[in-house]
A and B are shown apart, each in its own frame.
Chain A
Amino acid sequence: MKHRVRFGRQILIVGSLLVFGVSALAPRVAKSEEDIRIAGDAAGRRGGRLLASLRSDPKSLSPVTAVDLPSKQVLGLLFADLIHINPYTQHTEPALAKSWKMSSDGKHYTLELRHGIHFSDGHPFDADDVVFSFKVYQDEKVHSPQRDLLEVGGKSIQVRKSGPYQVDFDLPQPYAAAERLFDSVRILPRHLLERAYEEGKISQVWGPSTAASEIAGLGPFRLKQYIPGQQIVLERNPYYWKADPSGTRLPYLDEIAFLIVPTEDAEVIRFQAGEIDVLSRIGADNYATLERNQRARDYQLYDSGPGLEYDFLFFNLNDLSSRQLPAVSRKQEWFRRIEFRQAVSAAIDRESIVRLVYRGRATPLWDQVTPGNKLWINARIAQPPRSLIKAAALLRAAGFIRRPDGVLVDAHGQTVEFSILTNPSNAQRTKIATIIQDDLTQLGMLVHVVPLEFHAVMARIFDTYDYEAAVLGLESGDADPNPEINVWTSGGATHVWALSETHPSTEWQAEIDHLMQAQTAILDYIKRKQAYDRVQELVAQFDPVICLVSPHVLVAGKNTIGGLKPAVMGDYVLWDTDQLFWSTNVAGKR
């Protein structure tokens, strides 16, 4: 029987992601019985309001049901998890659990919780809240998106209270980097939600119309006001469990307000007008615009280098025998040839994509792990420069012939012609496809770029398989290889190029399947890395997807914001909101 660790995974539409944004006397941490975590470097000052933005209204304010990005952005500030992945270091760090122990067989975890800390409404937090939260998330009837995350080998993780501030977790099998599972599993207030859960109404709680006083979490902020379509205002959680080394309780900011701004262009204009203080995730074009207009310069731009997102071209390798798609099936004869895919990869001018599409703010890729992923990148992957000669030789070897008029035909005399799907809502991807089109024309291929509405593209790729090739971007939620299982193993939910493949159809696919499954149970980092390095080599060699570039993480913020450390994963700017502060006097600011 095949065991599989299933993970939630997001396909992020490049260029249509997030941006964030968001006012006391500094009470010293006095209560000695509180397990306060010391964070930051004591440089901050209290007070002020930060303005950020969201692309749309959050659909829900409940961690149990939220799936959309704006909701997750807000929830990340209202709630806390047991063990947190620091997006900056990419390592785990203690959050609500102050320490944890793993048994020697890797199957049992014991988490020690912080004593004497409180929810934002003042109610004390203990192990019952943790057990309750996991019960809710793992309940099949609740349909929580976290449920998949909390399964190892197809079986649920068992959660037991072993003391008022101690929780035991039993894993069905050893699982590498299991502590990373706890990230983003937000702890719920049992005193507020237990009744709704018992009445079976947990999925209806905390919608957009809920009064701010009814919501409580363990995050740095709590809800103050929400005006749908306009803004969400969060205020400091006075009970937050972190303090800076000088003993000032975090967060520094009094308030964070998120304005609802539907497009990136509008965000940039409002940022330039001073109506928004931070921009996380801006496109290279807008970055260049901001750079040009930086003379008045009361803002700082940050190029954090490649993130975890990778853009790639892939061909339809689904088994179409049960579908009425003769035109696509015929072309699959080419797509299935390794030489064909390698030739396409060799002919693509990645440097030009970097220069023309991302204005130099991207990094070319030959496999799926970006240089942003410091722990898992395989530095030995070859990075051959573009070579039309090599591409032409590969095609000749595979039986393709260049006709005297320059058109490439296959062994049956059929013209090599195919289309690449993109969504015009993503200008970068359409541009990438246009550059690929021009590159492949030089090999004699006839390529059409077909811009379709995003949902139509998704329907063709995931449901009907009625497409020939497509350009897509994927972004992993974590630097760890585990969330990537769904992409690389056959049968995975985002195994985009061959979703129909439930069992490996090629030897290299079988090897990838084996390695990806095996690495989940290897507890040693070095051995695990060897396995994942091999996966990267296989991807680079057999090109199931042709990796192209990884766009850089570009963010901007007012000069006077202190503590801004853009990360390349998670919420790029607002991941450490509890440590952001205004470095100038903000009395009377807004």
Chain B
Amino acid sequence: MLVHLLIVCARFFAPYNPNEQHRDFPFAPPVRVHFSDSRGRFHLRPFVCLWLVDGQQAGSQGYRNDCGRASPIRFFMRSEIMREGNIQKASWHLFGVDAPGQIFLLGTDDYGRDLFSRLLYGGQTSLGAGLFVAGLSLSVGLLLGCVAGYLGSWVDDVIMRGAELFMALPWIYLLFAVRAFLPLHLGARQAFLLLIGVIGLTGWARPSRLIRGVILSAKERGYVLAARGFGASGVSIVRRHILPEISSVALTQAALLVPQYILAEVTFSFLGLGVGEPEPSWGNMLASLQTYSILEGHWWMLASGLALVPIFLLFYSFADSLQGCFQPFGLSR
């Protein structure tokens, strides 16, 4: 929850605009936050040292810290933007430093963009995509699974063969094909929607098969047969007796699907098929790691990849505890 709060409120927690290029600071390493100065005195207000570009050519030479010119971290400050030559106060941020100091908690990328800010904003895209796609594929899967499982006969056959077909589809090539037919300037938002659409629509097959299985067993249960015997309609049987039974399966399934779809978004954006520059997503932030020099020399660029690990662990343990919650009621999985 905390992670999601951080990400949803990225605008407040991130010190910079994710697309702002600090062109004097490409590949700046993560900054250290100090509490004590060089003479060992403790400061209640943490501070960061100024990065100085070492040598003539930025990037190839590296940086060094100049702690003689420390910038104290200020909390709850307002950012300033330049418009038409005037400085205007803009949004509130949890923390920041006054110019000329810079606070790059996780360092910067090749354009000098703050990775911490990009990680938070990129999370909006990646986690958002995971949640939306899981929601989309699960609802389609739920609907089709219910229909197939409950109605049976030829409807079941058609839907299940369809599901198998979808499972056999090569996603990546499908997305390549879709992308090739689209107009050139697909904005970041449209690209995002397209990504969600394609992954969501191809992803319904697995949940629908699972849900159909649960329904097949549920509809033979005594109370369902009894309800039918009393003349209950199909819709009401599904709604009152079967849906509550599958809700636990669906929820657990969702918790398992979300990380899977986050990974799907990361993969697609990594390959350049998803969200385009300059909008951040965890996938396209990793894309530059395809080159040996960055992988070899700038370890902080791995931040978004590392962020995936705790997120995935959280989701899996969440799925575990969900399953644990429902287990006492003797639900089948």
Residues of chain A having any CB pair with chain B under 8 Å: 265, 268-269, 283-289, 291-292, 349, 352, 355-356, 359-361, 406, 417-419, 421, 424, 427, 430-431, 434-435, 437-438, 448-451, 456, 466-468
**Do the beta carbons of A360 and B56 come within 8 Å of each other?**
yes
Residues of A within 8 A of B23 (CB): 349, 352, 355-356
Is B164 on the interface with A (CB-CB < 8 A)?
no
Return the 7 tightest CB-CB contacts between A and B, nearest first: A360-B57, A265-B292, A285-B293, A419-B185, A448-B185, A359-B59, A289-B293
Residues of A within 8 A of B26 (CB): 355-356, 359
**Do the beta carbons of A288 and B293 come within 8 Å of each other?**
yes
Residues of A within 8 A of B184 (CB): 419, 421, 448, 450, 466-468
Is B320 on the interface with A (CB-CB < 8 A)?
no
Is B110 on the interface with A (CB-CB < 8 A)?
yes
Residues of A within 8 A of B168 (CB): none
Is B291 on the interface with A (CB-CB < 8 A)?
yes
Residues of B within 8 A of A356 (CB): 23, 26, 59, 110-112
* Per-residue A-contact encoding for B41-81, CB less than 8 Å = 1, 0 else: 00000000000000011111000000000000000000000
Interface of B is mostly: loop
**Do the beta carbons of A449 and B276 come within 8 Å of each other?**
yes
Report the bound CA distance from A319 to B112 in whole Å.
40
Q: Considering only CB atoms, which chain A residue lies closest to B19 in the complex?
A: A438
Q: Considering only CB atoms, which chain B residue lies closest to A293 in the complex?
A: B296
**Do the beta carbons of B296 and A355 come within 8 Å of each other?**
no
- Nearest Cβ on chain A to B121's Cβ, whole angstroms: 16
Is B297 on the interface with A (CB-CB < 8 A)?
yes
**Do the beta carbons of A438 and B185 come within 8 Å of each other?**
no
Q: Considering only CB atoms, which chain A residue lies closest to B294 in the complex?
A: A285
Residues of B within 8 A of A434 (CB): 111, 277-278
**Do the beta carbons of B58 and A359 come within 8 Å of each other?**
yes
**Do the beta carbons of A456 and B185 come within 8 Å of each other?**
no
Is B83 on the interface with A (CB-CB < 8 A)?
yes
Residue in A283, A359, A417 with the greatest tally of chain B CB atoms within 10 Å: A359
**Do the beta carbons of B276 and A286 come within 8 Å of each other?**
no
Report the bound CA distance from A164 to B321 in whole Å.
93
Residues of B within 8 A of A450 (CB): 184-186, 276
**Do the beta carbons of A427 and B291 come within 8 Å of each other?**
yes
**Do the beta carbons of A285 and B276 come within 8 Å of each other?**
no
* Per-residue A-contact encoding for B284-306, CB less than 8 Å = 1, 0 else: 00001001111011000000000
Q: Considering only CB atoms, which chain B residue lies closest to A431 in the complex?
A: B110
4 new A-B contacts, CB < 8 A, other than A289-B296, A450-B276, are: A287-B60, A437-B277, A449-B277, A451-B276
Report the bound CA distance from A352 to B294 in whole Å.
19
Is B272 on the interface with A (CB-CB < 8 A)?
yes
Report the bound CA distance from A45 to B26 in whole Å.
45
Given A352-B23, A356-B112, A406-B83, A285 and B291 touching (CB < 8 A)? yes
- Nearest Cβ on chain A to B119's Cβ, whole angstroms: 19
Residues of A within 8 A of B56 (CB): 360
Is B187 on the interface with A (CB-CB < 8 A)?
yes
Is B99 on the interface with A (CB-CB < 8 A)?
no
Given A355-B59, A360-B59, A468-B184, A269 and B291 touching (CB < 8 A)? no
Residues of A within 8 A of B19 (CB): 438
**Do the beta carbons of A437 and B60 come within 8 Å of each other?**
no
Residues of B within 8 A of A285 (CB): 291, 293-294
Is B323 on the interface with A (CB-CB < 8 A)?
no
Q: Considering only CB atoms, which chain B residue lies closest to A417 in the complex?
A: B185
* Per-residue A-contact encoding for B119-133, CB less than 8 Å = 1, 0 else: 000000000000000
**21 A-B Cβ contacts within 8 A?**
A265-B293, A268-B293, A283-B293, A286-B293, A288-B293, A289-B293, A289-B296, A289-B297, A355-B26, A355-B59, A359-B57, A359-B58, A406-B83, A424-B272, A431-B111, A434-B277, A435-B21, A438-B19, A450-B276, A468-B184, A468-B185
* Per-residue A-contact encoding for B147-186, CB less than 8 Å = 1, 0 else: 0000000000000000000000000000000001000111
Report the bound CA distance from A349 to B112 in whole Å.
15
Q: Considering only CB atoms, which chain B residue lies closest to A467 in the complex?
A: B184
Residues of B within 8 A of A349 (CB): 23
Residues of A within 8 A of B278 (CB): 434, 437-438, 449
Residues of A within 8 A of B291 (CB): 265, 285, 427
* Per-residue A-contact encoding for B214-231, CB less than 8 Å = 1, 0 else: 000000000000000000
**Do the beta carbons of B185 and A291 come within 8 Å of each other?**
no
- Nearest Cβ on chain A to B332's Cβ, whole angstroms: 47
Report the bound CA distance from A286 to B292 in whole Å.
8
Q: Considering only CB atoms, which chain A residue lies closest to B111 in the complex?
A: A356
**Do the beta carbons of A291 and B60 come within 8 Å of each other?**
yes
Residue in B23, B112, B187, B272 with the greatest tally of chain A CB atoms within 10 Å: B23
Q: Which of B1-58 contact A (CB under 8 A)?
A: 19, 21, 23, 26, 56-58
Q: Which of B263-318 contact A (CB under 8 A)?
A: 272, 276-278, 288, 291-294, 296-297
Residues of B within 8 A of A449 (CB): 276-278
Given A352-B23, A355-B23, A449-B277, A288 and B272 touching (CB < 8 A)? no
Report the bound CA distance from A526 to B293 in whole Å.
45
Residues of A within 8 A of B112 (CB): 356
Residues of A within 8 A of B111 (CB): 356, 431, 434-435, 438
**Do the beta carbons of A360 and B292 come within 8 Å of each other?**
no
Report the bound CA distance from A427 to B288 in whole Å.
8
* Interface residue from B83, B276, B277, B297 paired with A288 (Cβ < 8 Å): B297
Given A359-B58, A360-B56, A360-B60, A456 and B180 touching (CB < 8 A)? yes
Residues of A within 8 A of B21 (CB): 352, 435, 438
Q: Considering only CB atoms, which chain B residue lies closest to A267 in the complex?
A: B292
Report the bound CA distance from A579 to B45 in whole Å.
65
- Nearest Cβ on chain A to B283's Cβ, whole angstroms: 13
Report the bound CA distance from A226 to B184 in whole Å.
44
Residues of A within 8 A of B186 (CB): 448, 450
Q: Considering only CB atoms, which chain B residue lies closest to A357 in the complex?
A: B110
Residues of A within 8 A of B293 (CB): 265, 268, 283, 285-286, 288-289
Report the bound CA distance from A546 to B176 in whole Å.
31
Residues of A within 8 A of B187 (CB): 448
Report the bound CA distance from A359 to B278 in whole Å.
20
Residues of B within 8 A of A421 (CB): 184
Residues of A within 8 A of B57 (CB): 355, 359-361
- Nearest Cβ on chain A to B102's Cβ, whole angstroms: 16
Residues of A within 8 A of B297 (CB): 288-289, 292
**Do the beta carbons of A360 and B58 come within 8 Å of each other?**
yes
Residues of A within 8 A of B296 (CB): 289
Q: Considering only CB atoms, which chain A residue lies closest to B180 in the complex?
A: A456
- Nearest Cβ on chain B to A234's Cβ, whole angstroms: 28
**Do the beta carbons of B292 and A289 come within 8 Å of each other?**
yes
- Nearest Cβ on chain A to B55's Cβ, whole angstroms: 9
Q: Considering only CB atoms, which chain A residue lies closest to B23 in the complex?
A: A352
Residues of B within 8 A of A417 (CB): 185
Q: Which of B72-96 contact A (CB under 8 A)?
A: 83
* Per-residue A-contact encoding for B245-271, CB less than 8 Å = 1, 0 else: 000000000000000000000000000
